[in-house]
Structure 1
Amino acid sequence: MSDQTPGVAEQLEPLVARVLANNPSPFTHTGTQSYIVGTVDVAVIDPGPEDGAHVAALLKAIDGRPVRAIVLTHTHRDHSPASRPLAAATGAPIVGCAALAFDDLGPRADASFDPDYRPQRVLAEGESVEGEGWTLAALATPGHTSNHLAFALPETGALFSGDHVMGWSTSIVSPPDGNMTDYLASLEKLLGREDRVYYPGHGDPVSNPQRLVRGMLGHRKQREGQILRLVGEGVATIPAMVERMYVGVDRRLWPAAERSVLAHLLDLEGRGLVRQDGGGWAAA
């Protein structure tokens, strides 16, 4: 499905359509995917960046149906700004994750958080929004951001996984708001579920989510092992670690990789395995 056209609604199953925003990048893959859930009335999940053409494409796909809610997984600027013009056009409430205007100076996939996001209703774990024949139940999945939510569609066994689990790459976990300890716990949480398919914020649907989540946990354990070995060899700085760990990876992604390595180091520090040593890191 990776050949989808931006702005063209694609029906994935009877209750779910997606519309791709035209914001491709090395971090967003082909762009941000907005989802329209429902038939008679609908919800829109992650309406995307501030892009008039994308909002127009969403309105075309909605085709005059009542919009019960505009639902947000998190407030990065490739996901939430379009909620405001879409709400103005449809009268729908903005619901989902909590507001978070966090000044994160690290490089992000999406420039920064959306400081103007103002939800009418924040959904806690297990709370839901509903329409005719559909329910979206919130699942707290912090880690990529502290306010990240996923949304389960129990009628079909689908899970809208936002940027927590994506269909093309692992998530950036960028401190101080991104937290590797929380991220790993959220992956373990998903591993305990039996969702049929994930619809992520970026990339294709995930048809075997349990296998992917196990692989993601394994990948993070592998990165953790690399970091511990490098620290043990006396490699003390994050840039030096990234140069050794990410050979062959697009160098444009290295600043983001440095943030994820920092997140791993903070997790390892919390577990008593490494310590900060002046301007670098050492074995505890």
Structure 2
Amino acid sequence: MAGPPPKPWPTGLVERPEPLVRRVLAPNPSPYTYTGTQTYIVGEGEAVAVIDPGPDDQAHIDAIVEAVGAAKIAAIMCTHTHRDHSPAARPLAERTGAPIVGCAPLVLDDSGPRADASFDRDYAPDRVMEDGEAMTGPGWTLRAVHTPGHTSNHLCFALEESGALFTGDHVMGWSTSVVVPPDGDMGAYMKSLERLYERGDRVYYPAHGAPVEKPRQLVRGMIGHRRQRENQILRLLGETRQSAADMVPRMYKGLDPRLTGAAEMSVTAHLLDLERRGLVGRSGDLWQTL
């Protein structure tokens, strides 16, 4: 994971990466959220969409409303229901009357290391978007792209007028996505990466970090990186039976101690995928090649 840029960060300020897109940074930086969650406002004129409203933070909600101005919010759209993405949807909807649309709700427990990423149990969409379904407004079209893996309900949203893709946590330029079982699934994540690689999107706007200007190049590198991790696990298990925790120090040199839990869950996600493919087996916490 890359370190954040020097402060000051543009928390609460409106930035415009392209004519149809504005973004507002939430005040929730962490080792897992980089400088914070970026909420995107899509569209101009009388109606806009808000993507990933972020945490239930009054200052951030105020900043979103101020950025929208006199326009109507046609939809509050959530890529997934981790607590740094969707909790502001409900208070923003109550304040503006806008419907909540996008990903399906989840009520699973999150056994991962991210205190900021347990699931939002209060998320209740007015409409769940299916893969390929579109939300439209004056001069903009956002089409849902089903990308499970980081979470089983993860969606990206493609802005058809400009070729931009809002990628939530599925693809980020500053870090690989954390895949935390049982809901996070490495096999599904890899298939979703391959799906994005086959697309022709011009730019990615992730929920954390800078825009991705060369998306296919980055996705190709991410797929290669995950395959390298997989091969590394198989080599280590070829030496002796090991637990996921045993492998982390050898696989992640110089790792920030705050990220050890995330690394262990990533290794576990790889192991579960390899197990489904019949390449490894386990006895208790110890894994071995087959």
- State the partner residue of 1:239: 245
Q: Is the 8 A contact 2:129 2:144 kept in 1?
A: yes
SS in 1 for 2:124: coil
Pairwise CA distance, 1:4: 4.2
Q: Does 1:279 align with 2:285?
A: yes
- State the partner residue of 1:38: 43
- In structure 2, the gaps of 5 or more residues are none
Pairwise CA distance, 1:109: 6.1
What do the CA deviations read for 1:167-194 (whole angstroms, capped 9, x no partner)? 2100000000000000000000000000
SS in 2 for 1:244: helix
Cα distance in 1 for partners of 2:11, 2:28 equals 9
Pairwise CA distance, 1:56: 0.4
Q: Is the 8 A contact 1:134 1:153 kept in 2?
A: yes
Pairwise CA distance, 1:278: 3.1
Pairwise CA distance, 1:235: 4.5
Cα distance in 1 for partners of 2:34, 2:44 equals 28
SS in 2 for 1:178: coil
Cα distance in 2 for partners of 1:248, 1:134 equals 45
Cα distance in 1 for partners of 2:27, 2:49 equals 21
Equivalent of residue 27 in structure 1, options 25, 28, 32: 32
- State the partner residue of 2:67: 61
Displaced runs of 4 or more, over 3 A:
1-4
Q: Is the 8 A contact 2:108 2:183 kept in 1?
A: yes
Cα distance in 1 for partners of 2:180, 2:251 equals 17
Q: Does 1:85 align with 2:91?
A: yes
Q: Which letter maps to 2:225?
A: H
SS in 1 for 2:281: strand
Cα distance in 2 for partners of 1:278, 1:46 equals 39
Pairwise CA distance, 1:277: 2.1
Pairwise CA distance, 1:249: 1.4
Q: Does 1:200 align with 2:225?
A: no
What do the CA deviations read for 1:82-127 (whole angstroms, capped 9, x no partner)? 0011111111000000000111222126240000000000000010
Cα distance in 2 for partners of 1:146, 1:64 equals 35
Cα distance in 2 for partners of 1:274, 1:128 equals 41
Cα distance in 2 for partners of 1:61, 1:197 equals 22
Measured on the aligned residues, the alpha-carbon RMSD in Å equals 1.2
1:1-284 paired onto structure 2 within 5 Å? 4-40=9-45, 41-108=47-114, 110-284=116-290
What do the CA deviations read for 1:201-245 (whole angstroms, capped 9, x no partner)? 100000000000000001101110110011111151111100111
The range that moved more, 101-110 or 137-146, is 101-110
Q: Which letter maps to 2:271?
A: L
Q: Which letter maps to 2:214?
A: N
SS in 2 for 1:17: strand
TM-score (norm 2): 0.96
Cα distance in 1 for partners of 2:155, 2:136 equals 16
Q: Which letter maps to 2:251?
A: M
Identical-residue share of aligned pairs (%): 64
SS in 2 for 1:184: helix
Q: Is the 8 A contact 2:74 2:98 kept in 1?
A: yes
Q: Is the 8 A contact 1:136 1:151 kept in 2?
A: yes
Cα distance in 2 for partners of 1:281, 1:218 equals 23
TM-score (norm 1): 0.98
Cα distance in 2 for partners of 1:259, 1:79 equals 21
